[in-house]
Amino acid sequence: MSDEVRGTVEWFKDMQFIGRIEGDKCSVILGEGGISPMKLLLLSVAGCTAYDVVMILQKMREPIKGLEVEISGERRDEHPRIYKRVNLHYRIYGDVDEEKAERAIKLSQDKYCSASAHVKLSGAEVTYSFEITGDS
């Protein structure tokens, strides 16, 4: 199995583009009427870490019932306008142990989340907080 990922971005009208990854059944609209590439990068970080945290907590046999990850990012004023700060807030639903939740988040941020690692490598400060609620 190859680690290579292939895709295309095609201009289709005005300032709208459609992005597709080979072998995937979905596509994404970029630009006007869609999402900006930099906002998509922010959502990619949230999605990547959300996946990790749920998987880790399930492996820990924690009773997670839901998860929301709120993300915000602040970009530089000068070009390239990369993110200089990113903050994630995890809202974990279920009777999850606080120490295990923190451990799962830390593992995601320090070891597993490739999207977070890319943002950190560009020099961004990535911070996080979390809360646990029994309601879903």
- pTM for this prediction: 0.92
**For the chain, what is the mean pLDDT?**
96
Cα separation, 121 vs 29, whole angstroms? 27
Q: List domains and CATH numbers for the chain.
A: 1-35 (no CATH), 37-133 (3.30.300.20)
- Given a cut of 80, whether residue 61 has pLDDT beyond it is yes
Structure tokens at 41: 């990068």
The residue-averaged pLDDT of 25-47 equals 96
pLDDT for the residue numbered 134: 80
Cα separation, 136 vs 134, whole angstroms? 7
For 70-97, write each residue's pLDDT tens digit. 999 999 999 999 999 999 999 999 999 9
pLDDT for the residue numbered 136: 56
Q: Which residues contact 117 (CB under 8 A, 6 or more apart)?
A: none
